[in-house]
Amino acid sequence: MQTIAVIGAGTMGNGIAHVFAQSGFQVNLIDISQKSLDTALATISKNLDRMVAKEKINETDKSATLANITTNTILVEGVKNVDLVVEAATENIELKLAIFKELDAACGATTILATNTSSISITQIAAATNRPEMVIGMHFMNPVPIMKLVEIIRGYSTSNDTTKAIMELAEKLGKTPTEVNDYPGFVANRILMPMINEAIETLYNGVAGVQEIDTVMRLGMAHPMGPLQLADFIGLDVCLSILNVMYEGFKNQKYAPCPLLVNMVRAKKLGIKSGEGFYDYSASRKAEIVSEQFK
């Protein structure tokens, strides 16, 4: 594989484009918004600057990485003659099904189609295409340039050849691929989201405050950040969406989102990206937090 298309220029999309480009792949970053693409390139450049400052790469490496990225606002043009597409659009099943139907028609017969979904069924996404054996989950962790894990999710029809190719590709990126099967939440979020939801329930029931809950989990359980801060970092709307997928998939009350989480999302208190969640994020503090992720 040499040429990769990444669909979506948000936090995950620009991070995925970054790691592929830094590993020497040609990357077509695609988004319907030119403003989002410009922001993504600026973010990648800033993150590379941090790596230069820490002497993890040099200026030549930075220039080569940026030179490996092209942008496009038209999907059918951006996915021509690519070896792999990694979709990193909003976590919405209708949107993803529409994208994969379009990708199936626009891409060559040998192009593998991957999705960065954190919870939506790979089997369901694959069913929107005529190549279900070549559809796979490639769930990167945030921040993508730093986190080593890539959760590789096999759909019901995903072939051994496709799985092997994506596992090997993830290793070329310097990541640690871990193969899992296609059930709601996969492994990472099936374990993580109930923990976050229980932390929100603990707050909702008045057992302890935000900082107290996070302090217990950081200092008592050696977590790098508390579950409420982590929820803010992920995005409360994303947490709610994943919990809803698992609740619908398993029909088990233990996955039902806490009413406090539901109300916060309704109130647009989504965490870092909205400026307020369980914590209040000023512009300067937000920049500081993002910078900390690249230490």
CA–CA gap between residue 85 and residue 193 (Å, rounded): 27
CA–CA gap between residue 189 and residue 196 (Å, rounded): 10
Helix (H, G, I), strand (E, B) or coil at 200: helix
Of 116, 118, 197, 241, the catalytic one is 118
Amino acid making up residue 92: N
Q: Are 56 and 65 in contact (CB under 8 A)?
A: no
Does residue 151 have an active-site annotation? yes
Q: Are 5 and 85 in contact (CB under 8 A)?
A: yes
State the DSSP string of 226-295: -HHHHHHHH-HHHHHHHHHHHHHHH--GGGSPPHHHHHHHHTT--BGGGTBSSSB--HHHHHHHHHHTT-
* Angstrom distances, CA of residue 295 to CA of 53, 70, 288: 10, 27, 11
Angle between helices 188-204 and 227-234 (to 10 degrees): 120
- Radius of gyration, CA atoms only, the chain: 19
Q: Are 145 and 47 in contact (CB under 8 A)?
A: yes
Kindly tell me the burial class for residue 195, based on how many C-beta atoms sit within 10 Å of its own C-beta (0-12, 13-18, 19 or more).
middle
Nearby residues of 192 by Cβ (< 8 Å), 6 or more positions away? none
Does residue 223 have an active-site annotation? no
Does residue 189 have an active-site annotation? yes
Altogether, the residues listed in the chain come to a count of 295
**Strands 149-154 and 135-140, bridge-based pairing:** antiparallel
Of 87, 91, 151, 276, the catalytic one is 151
Catalytic residue numbers read 118, 139, 151, 189
